[in-house]
């Protein structure tokens, strides 16, 4: 591309940022859509979050993605917060507005778009959610907001599950999240559930692990999404498939969180065919 005086700059702030796929998503989108835009990762240390957000605004940067560990730390330095991001308490996209950035959470709208694209229904579903960390907390909000009937939130540290359940149930106004320890799945009614794997167990390079190993757990699953996308087929996904369930990884969530951010920055709608083209490139890039 030809960088000139009118080239818009977008980027990612986080720590680390070396292995990010976001430049692949955004630079490909810009090229395909004829947008004069370049996307760059910026390594930002914890103590520099305020300076990074204010400095980016001063440099007329159009938009930023935010990744770990800064998704909550950026919030005090924003001019405005989208209501969903405010509820979740985490922001992954900053959109330039008059006087400062507005924060959004496109991780959750990205997961929702990814699930819809696979034909996975949430409304009225009984759901198992493994994990109560940053990502699972946001998934719990999304499932509650999208009308899941019940969400059994299973986590190694029960106190963390209790805290997420309390917060989400208050925010969505119903007792939708039921906190449990990992082994308590044995007490659940024997039926088929939608299952979201939101722990970091099984993430590359620890690919031979799953947060629950017992085969009887997987008998309860009919469709599953692992938020992990590296490796492309996690042990959790393999155990689901061995028990006859459908299982998807988190790569489409990553794709769509980026696509939605791009749409917010450029006020455009990205074609599904272009999304699929980029998805193909991402699959190549994460092969291990
Ligand atoms: P996090 O805040 O560090 O939470 C980690 C979670 O994993 C906690 O629930 C933790 O349980 C659990 N855990 C870790 N080690 C465990 C073990 N040995 N046994 C049982 N549980 C264990 O991480 P996060 O930010 O939520 O991210 C979680 C995963 O989601 C990561 O793999 C990340 O790559 C993925 N993710 C994907 C996308 C995407 O776009 N596809 C976006 C965001 C995140 P305790 O509470 O007991 O410690």
Task: Report the C-alpha gap between 180 and 158 in whole angstroms.
Answer: 6
Whether 1 has a pLDDT exceeding 90, the answer reads no
The pLDDT tens digits of the residues spanning 114-128 come to 999 999 999 999 999
Q: What is the pLDDT of residue 190?
A: 83
The pLDDT tens digits of the residues spanning 118-154 come to 999 999 999 999 999 989 999 999 999 999 999 999 9
Residue found under tokens 């493994």: 130
Whether 170 has a pLDDT exceeding 90, the answer reads yes
Based on the residue annotation, tell me whether 166 is a catalytic residue of this protein. no
Q: What is the pLDDT of residue 66?
A: 98
What is the pLDDT of the chain when averaged over all its residues?
A: 96
C-alpha closest to that of 94 among 4, 30, 9: 9
Reported confidence tier of residue 287, pLDDT bands at 50, 70, 90: confident
Task: Report the C-alpha gap between 107 and 90 in whole angstroms.
Answer: 10
Ligand 1 site-directed mutation target among 199, 227, 282, most atoms within 8 Å of CB: 199
Reported confidence tier of residue 102, pLDDT bands at 50, 70, 90: very high
Q: Report the pLDDT averaged over residues 154-176.
A: 96
Whether 288 has a pLDDT exceeding 70, the answer reads no
Q: Report the pLDDT averaged over residues 156-180.
A: 97
Residue with the smallest CA separation from ligand 1 atom 27 is 135
Output the CA torsion sign for 56, 59, 64, 68: negative
Q: What is the pTM of this model?
A: 0.95
Q: What is the pLDDT of residue 179?
A: 98
Q: Report the pLDDT averaged over residues 61-90.
A: 96
Residue found under tokens 């009937």: 149
Whether 225 has a pLDDT exceeding 90, the answer reads yes
Q: What is the pLDDT of residue 186?
A: 95
Residue found under tokens 């977008």: 10
Reported confidence tier of residue 104, pLDDT bands at 50, 70, 90: very high
Task: Report the C-alpha gap between 174 and 150 in whole angstroms.
Answer: 10
Q: What is the pLDDT of residue 11?
A: 98
Task: Report the C-alpha gap between 66 and 202 in whole angstroms.
Answer: 24
Determine whether the shortest distance from the Cβ of 82 to ligand 1 is under 6 A.
no
User: CA 236 → CA 60, 104, 166, distances in Å?
Assistant: 43, 30, 27
Could you say which DSSP state residue 181 is in?
A: E
Token representation of residue 109: 């709208």
Catalytic residue among 6, 8, 54, 71: 71
Determine whether the shortest distance from the Cβ of 227 to ligand 1 is under 6 A.
yes
Residue 70 CA from chain centroid, whole number: 14
User: CA 91 → CA 96, 102, 106, 142, 288, distances in Å?
Assistant: 14, 10, 8, 14, 29
What percent of the chain has pLDDT above 70? 100
Is residue 90 a contact partner of residue 105, using CB atoms and an 8 Å limit?
yes
Task: Report the C-alpha gap between 182 and 64 in whole angstroms.
Answer: 36
Residue found under tokens 């009919």: 222
Ligand 1 atom closest to residue 132's alpha carbon, by position in its atom list: 9
173 CA to centre of ligand 1 in angstroms: 26
Ligand 1 site-directed mutation target among 156, 212, 249, 252, most atoms within 8 Å of CB: 156
User: How many of the other CB atoms lie within 10 Å of CB of 33?
Assistant: 14
The pLDDT tens digits of the residues spanning 183-206 come to 999 999 889 999 999 999 999 999
Q: What is the pLDDT of residue 281?
A: 97
């Amino acid at each position: 591309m030809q960088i000139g005086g009118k080239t818009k700059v977008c980027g990612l702030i986080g720590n680390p940022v070396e292995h990010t796929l976001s430049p692949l998503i955004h630079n490909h989108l810009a090229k395909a859509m004829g947008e004069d835009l370049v996307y760059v990762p910026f390594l930002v240390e914890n103590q520099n979050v305020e300076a990074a957000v204010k400095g980016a605004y001063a440099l007329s940067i159009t938009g930023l993605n935010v990744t770990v560990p800064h998704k909550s730390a950026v919030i005090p330095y924003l001019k405005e917060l989208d209501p969903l991001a405010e509820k979740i308490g985490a922001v992954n996209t900053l959109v330039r507005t008059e006087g400062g950035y507005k924060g959004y959470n496109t991780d959750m709208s990205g997961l929702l778009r990814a699930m819809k694209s696979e034909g996975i229904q949430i409304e009225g579903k009984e759901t198992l959610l493994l994990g109560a960390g940053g990502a699972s907390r946001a998934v719990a909000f999304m499932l509650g907001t999208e009308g899941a009937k019940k969400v059994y939130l299973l986590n190694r540290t029960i106190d963390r599950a209790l805290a997420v359940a309390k917060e989400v149930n208050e925010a969505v106004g119903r007792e939708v999240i039921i906190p449990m320890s990992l082994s308590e799945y044995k007490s659940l009614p024997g039926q088929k559930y939608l299952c979201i794997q939101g722990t970091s167990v099984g993430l590359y390079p620890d690919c031979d692990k799953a947060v629950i190993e017992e085969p009887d757990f997987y008998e309860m699953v009919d469709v599953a999404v692992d938020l992990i996308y590296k490796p492309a087929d996690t042990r959790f996904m393999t155990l689901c498939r061995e028990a006859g369930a459908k299982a998807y990884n988190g790569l489409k969530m990553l794709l769509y969180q980026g696509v939605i951010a791009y749409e917010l920055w450029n006020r455009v709608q990205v074609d599904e065919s272009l999304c699929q083209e980029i998805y193909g490139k991402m699959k190549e890039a994460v092969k291990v």
